Amino acid sequence: MKKFSVLIVSAISVFLIMAFTERLEKSEPVSIIKTEITPELLKPTIEPVKIDIKGHEAFLSKLGNFESGNDYKKENRYGYMGRYQFGRQALKQVNLDVSKKEFLNSPELQELAMNRLLSYNDSTLDRFIRKYEGKKIHGVVVTRSGVLAAAHLGGATSVKKWFRSGKVFKDANGTPITKYMEIFGGYSLSID
């Protein structure tokens, strides 16, 4: 089988070389156009290029703005706190046993909590993300950042249910996790 494959490849190579050589023999001669080099031709032209990089900090800023207007001291009527509106259960999940006062008065604690939650949800949902990233599932294009934002809103379990059955969890305000998948999709995240 190997000899046959080598023979086929050799035959194709010979055919291509013969065809290319014949084409070169029939082609018109190439003429060289001389152009005088002027100082204007040597000046680089720089045009502004708009680059839309959606990175980790942009993701956090947009999520924080959506959740609380990026207000570290905000507490909503359901008891969710800080820039990213953490509840008690989410704080326990990321091993932060702090008082409400401590949490609301510490942007550092809130950022730590968010990074831990992203990391936890990323490892919990990685199998689903790797399988479906870039594909449209239940009408939504799946991206890592969109899935992690959805898990922030409704928990990793609700995102797993969505992948498996299409069932859409909504928070107390009626916001569906699919909205977060769409709004926060396409960011490049740095997760520890």
Note the pLDDT tens digit of each residue in 23-35. 445 545 544 445 4
pLDDT at residue 20 in the model: 46
94 belongs to a structural domain: yes
Cα–Cα distance list, 60 to 18, 26, 65, 192 (Å): 60, 62, 8, 15
Query: Closest Cα to residue 80, out of 183, 178, 174, 173?
Result: 173
What's the CA gap between 88 and 100, in Å, rounded? 9
8 belongs to a structural domain: no
133 belongs to a structural domain: yes
How confident is the prediction for the chain on average, in pLDDT? 83
67 belongs to a structural domain: yes
- Give the tens place of pLDDT for each residue, 32-48: 445 455 555 444 444 44
119 belongs to a structural domain: yes
Give the domain range for residue 108.
57-183
Structural domains counted in the chain: 1
Q: Which residue has the higher pLDDT, 32 or 191?
A: 191
Per-residue b or e along 9-26, where b marks 16 or more CB atoms closer than 10 Å to that residue's CB:
eeeeeeeeeeeeeeeeee
Q: Phi then psi for 73, rounded to 5 degrees?
A: -100, 0
CB 147 within 8 A of CB 166: no
* Percent share of the chain, pLDDT over 70: 72
Q: Is the pLDDT of residue 189 over 70?
A: yes
Q: pLDDT-derived band of residue 12, with 50, 70 and 90 as boundaries?
A: low
CB 68 within 8 A of CB 84: yes
41 belongs to a structural domain: no
Q: pLDDT-derived band of residue 17, with 50, 70 and 90 as boundaries?
A: low
- Give the tens place of pLDDT for each residue, 110-165: 999 999 999 999 999 999 999 999 999 999 999 999 999 999 999 999 999 999 99
81 belongs to a structural domain: yes
Q: pLDDT-derived band of residue 4, with 50, 70 and 90 as boundaries?
A: very low
Domain CATH for 116? 1.10.530
25 belongs to a structural domain: no
pLDDT at residue 48 in the model: 45
Which helix (H) or strand (E) covers residue 91, if one does?
helix 88-93
What's the CA gap between 178 and 180, in Å, rounded? 5
